Structure formats: C-alpha cells, structure tokens
Amino acid sequence: TSEQRFYVASDQNGSPLALFDTNGNIIKELRRTPFGRIIRDSNPDFFLPIDYQGGIPDPHTSLLYLKLRWYDPSVGQWMTPDWERLANQLTAPTDVFIYRFHNNDPINPHSSQQVNYMTDLSSWLKIYGYDVKHMLGSSYTRNMVYQPQAVVTSQQLAPDFGVMSGLQCIVDKVTYQFGSLDFVPQPLLKMESRTRNLLPRVAYRRSVFGEGLLISRSGGRALVSVVEGVNSVVQDVVTSVFNNSHFLDLHFTQHDQDLFYFVKDNALKLRDDLEELRRLGGMFNVSTHETADGKELRLHSADAVVSIRYGADPQQERHRLLKHAHKRAVERAWELEKALITSGLSGRGEWTEEEREELTLRGRVEGYEGTDIHNVQRYPQLADDPGNVTFRKDARRKRKRRTHRHDDST
C-alpha cells in the first residue's frame, strides 16, 4: 500500500508462507496441507489476497481462483474441470481424471510432471545420472557466459541473425558430434514426436442401461442410482429388478460383449422380473433358462449380456462361473500355443519334437493340463485370460501309470 510495505515469503510453487513488514517482523504465518487447505493461520484478521500457488482466494466460499478455474483446497479437486483440454489433447491416461489436481502431485511444479517418452539416448542416460550437456565442458561454460544478441522488434526491418565465422560452425558441429553417443545418426526427414495424442484410441460406448442410471456394488449387493427426468421407464424397471440383488464381482468379455452376473435369493421373483423387463420393449432380448442348478434369466443386447440367477447361493455361483471361465481360458491358451508352434516359434512350454507334432495335429498334448499362474479366487479378472494359463504335467496321470505298471508286475 502507499502507507506500508509488506514482504511475502513463498515456497517453490508460489504459496505464501509468511508475511513480513519493513522491520523484519512476522505479521502473518501460514501452514497448509499439501493440497492447500490452511491448518494454521497466526493472524486470520489480516487478509492476504494471494493464496495457495498464487491463486486468488474467495473469503466467503474458501475457494481459489487458480489458473482460470476454481479449486477447492479442502477436497483437493477442481470445481470447474478443463473439458476443452480433454476434448482436444489427451497425452496420458491419467488426463481423463479431469477433477484431479495436478495428477495428485501438488508438491512438484506442473511443468516437471511432463511425460518423458524416452525416445533418445540422452533421456535414458539422465536416469542413471549422466547429463551429456553438463559433461561437455565447452558447452556448459558457453551457456553460462552471457552473450549479447541484437534483437529487432520492428516488423519493417529484417531481423539480425548475427555474424558467425565458418570456423565457429565447424567447432560447433564437432562438439555436437562428440557429445552424441549414438552409433546410428538421427534421420533428418522423420523425427520422433515429442508428444502423443491418445484421443484416437478412445472410443465412446453406450452404457448397458442407457443414460442417467448407475448400478454400483455396495457390500456385495447392487445399488441403483438414477438421475431424475431421464429414461424414467428404464429407471423404474432396473430399480425394481436389480436393486438389492447380489452383484457378483465378476466381469468377463466374450464375443465383444460384456458379461455381468446377478444372483437373487427368491426363485419366485423370476416371473415378476420377466413382466417388468417386457416394459423395455426391444431394448433387450430376454430369455429364460432352466438348469439343474436353478433358473436363469438373460438379457442380451449388442454390447452386453446380463445374467440373473434365481434361488442360488452367491458363493457357489461365483465358484461355478470361475470354473467355466478357467475352462475357456485353457482352451484359448491351447489354441494360441498351437498357433505359435505352427508358425515355427518356441511357444510357452519346452516341448519335445514328438510333443510339438502332437500339438500341431491334436491341438493339445496328452499328459499336460492348463493351470493358473495367479490365483483366480484372488484375482477374478484373470479367470478367462489365456495369458494367466501355463502348461504343466498332470501328476494324477503319472500316479495312474505307476499303479498300472505295479499291477502288471504282480
């Protein structure tokens, strides 16, 4: 102000830590959480118009106007996300979290969080502590010395590019080649892109039951949340059929369709649910199936298959589904192994010549079985993944052969 002057001490991100007067006395001291919430203010009556990371605070809502957006330091998230950047440039998978503040790293500056794509040798050497530019004494000292340059701001005059001798050009070229550790020179026509855009890899897919409806899992049961005024008929049907049912933690993909599984204790609810689902019209192809384990109702659409099991135990149903998924994974693993052997590759297992011929002709090798690498009870998402299958010799077949030989000898 015109009457008094204050000095502000800030951290590396521009967040005020202390306020001093001209005599060096502390007028105000602040302490914050890493995401900017104030936990200690020695002088709350003194209003400081600059707050966390240089943002402008709102004294009524405690929000911060930071980088053209509103930020809430109490929850550590943006209140107004940057939709425009997400719709035009997607450089990292974490950019889809548009409410996340600085990728959950509020300490380091945002400029240091840029993705390093490791496209050249110098970027790899920096990981091991070697900086080629700093190792070259001539380049390091030349950059440290001030070199005045003529700058012409007038658009009517041609810019001055400076004067450089031919000998200096040769020296710079030799120095650059001396600092280049690559044996293969970089092409001049095609350079590696420094950034990438993931938007072409992102595809929009419609949700199973349409917009304005969310089915989440809470305590093992389905919880239906709706947005009023959107698809009221679908919301009523889905809430009546799926709410408070057992929602299994299994999600598979088969024939480009997502598979979801629900279990209901009361087997008599099948008829009522079937009447409710008929209100959806042609949204789903509804079919009923009756097996020895119980009755099942399936909803088929172009993108998903929803299964509702009636009168079954959720744990037993989960075990049954994992068993069938493991069977599909083993069959797919044998198909992939046969394709590798047929192409002349080694495959996953160490096969003999006889076993390779048997695998090529029959599609599998006798005496071997597919087992899980990771326990599917602990990682159910890997149950139908052929990459989680390895081939091992069946120990039970060995025992049977040994017993048969012992009987023949007696």
Q: What is the pLDDT of residues 392-403, one digit of tens each?
A: 887 665 545 544
Q: Compute the average pLDDT of residues 205-218.
A: 84
For the stretch 56-82, pLDDT in tens is: 999 999 899 998 889 999 999 999 887
Q: Compute the average pLDDT of residues 285-309.
A: 87
pLDDT grade for 168, boundaries at 50, 70 and 90: confident
Spell out the domains of the chain, with CATH numbers in brackets: 7-104 (no CATH), 213-312 (3.30.460), 326-406 (no CATH)
| Coil/strand/helix, residue 149 | coil
Candidates 386, 382, 348, 385; CA nearest to 365 is 348
For the stretch 233-291, pLDDT in tens is: 888 999 999 999 999 999 888 888 889 999 998 888 888 999 988 888 778 888 888 87
pLDDT of residue 260: 93
For the stretch 188-200, pLDDT in tens is: 555 555 556 777 7
Q: Give the C-alpha separation, 129 to 116, whole Å.
A: 15
Provide CB contacts within 8 A for 354, sequence distance 6+: none
Span of 27-36, 55-64, 296-305, 338-347 with lowest mean pLDDT:
338-347
Element (H, E) at 172: helix 166-179
pLDDT grade for 206, boundaries at 50, 70 and 90: confident
pLDDT grade for 39, boundaries at 50, 70 and 90: very high
Q: Compute the average pLDDT of residues 126-154.
A: 69
H-helix segments, 23-157: 83-88, 121-127, 132-135, 137-144
| Coil/strand/helix, residue 397 | helix
Q: Give the C-alpha separation, 139 to 331, whole Å.
A: 61
pLDDT of residue 95: 80
pLDDT of residue 163: 66
34-48 as b/e, with b when 16 or more CB fall inside 10 Å?
ebbebeeeeeeeeee
pLDDT of residue 87: 75
- The chain-wide mean pLDDT, for the chain, equals 82
Candidates 312, 204, 333, 194; CA nearest to 261 is 312
| Coil/strand/helix, residue 31 | strand
Provide CB contacts within 8 A for 367, sequence distance 6+: 393, 394, 397
In the 8-state DSSP scheme, what is residue 187? Answer: P
Candidates 296, 299, 318; CA nearest to 238 is 299
Contact 13, 109 (CB under 8 A): yes
